[in-house]
Amino acid sequence: MTTSTQKSRTGQVTSVKMQKTVIVSVVWRQRHPLYGKAVRRISKFYAHDEEGQCKLGDTVRIVGTRPLSKLKRWRIVEIIQRHEVPEVKPSEIDVPSIEPPAPVQA
């Protein structure tokens, strides 16, 4: 099957807590039937990530495929943009350490 005839969506990875599976959130707009205002909708898709390359926040393209599990009907085709997460330690941003409160004496 060619990818031109398959459904494809572009969204952000919102969960990577499973093995070989990621959750991709796709944001789309729909007009309100009565008022005509554009309403933002979010759809979550379970997608197959064989190599486990996706990280939280990545922008990915997914395509529809045969059922792979109870909820998984999509697979990752490409990672469009990587999400950069800075590695910062609490000591580098001068966060005061939290000390436990002193015991109360009666």
Range picked from 6-10, 85-89, 99-103 for highest mean pLDDT: 6-10
Could you tell me which residues come within 8 angstroms of residue 61 by beta carbon, excluding any fewer than 6 positions away?
A: 8, 9, 10, 76, 77, 78, 80
DSSP string computed for 59-77: EEEEEE-S--SSS--EEEE
pLDDT > 70? residue 3:
no
Higher pLDDT, 3 or 97: 97
Look at residues 57, 62, 44 and name the one whose alpha carbon lies nearest to residue 13. Answer: 57
**pLDDT grade for 51, boundaries at 50, 70 and 90:** very high
Three-state SS for 88? coil
Which among 40, 38, 39 is positioned nearest to 25, based on CA atoms? 40
pLDDT confidence band for 96 (50 / 70 / 90): low
- Please give the pLDDT value at position 86: 74
User: What is the pLDDT, as a whole number, of residue 35?
Assistant: 96
Averaged pLDDT, 66-95: 85
Q: Could you give the CA distance from residue 106 to residue 93 in angstroms, rounded to a whole number? A: 39
d(CA 95, CA 91): 6
Give me the amino acid identity at 44.
K
Q: Phi/psi at 91 (nearest 5 deg)?
A: -70, -25
Residue 1 has pLDDT above 60, yes or no: no
Confidence label for 103 from pLDDT (cuts 50, 70 and 90): confident
Q: What domains are there in the chain, each with its CATH number? A: 8-83 (2.40.50.140)
